[in-house]
Amino acid sequence: VSTQSTGVTCSKKLSTDDGYIHRSLVPTEHYQKSLPRLPIPKLEDTCKRYLAALEPILNESDYMNSERIVNEFLNGQGKELQSHLIAADKQNKNSSYIHQPWTEIYQ
C-alpha cells in the first residue's frame, strides 16, 4: 500500500480481499446479552453538552440563536421525544436504547 501524498509505503496488506480489515471468528452480537444497559441521559444534560460543544465554534450571535432553539426544544418537542425514548427503552429489556438505531445505521 502506498500513499502518494505522504510518500509512505507499507508492505503489509491492510484488509482482506472482501474489504474488511479482518474477519472475526466471534459473531458481532455474541457478547450483547452480557453488556450492561446504557442509561438514557437526561434531556437537560444532553442539551447542556450540546451547547457546550457549540460555544467554542460559534460567534456570540449564532450561539445565542442556538441557545434559543435548544431551549425551545427542551421545553417543547424534546420532552415528548424523551418520553417516547424512555417508553421504547422499557419495552426492550434485551439491549440498550441505542442498540437498534445504531445497528440500523451501521449495518
pLDDT at 86: 94
pLDDT at 7: 54
pLDDT at 2: 44
| Coil, helix or strand at residue 88 | helix
- Amino acid (1-letter code) at residue 63: Y
Q: At what angle do helices 43-54 and 77-91 cross, to 10 degrees?
A: 120
pTM check: above 0.75: no
* Local confidence pLDDT in tens for the 107 residues of the chain: 444 555 555 455 555 666 667 677 888 778 877 888 889 999 999 999 999 999 999 999 999 999 999 999 999 999 999 999 999 889 887 778 887 887 788 77
What is the C-alpha separation between 24 and 55, in angstroms, rounded?
Answer: 41
Q: Which three cell numbers stand for residue 100?
A: 437498534
- DSSP β-bridge partners for residue 3: 8
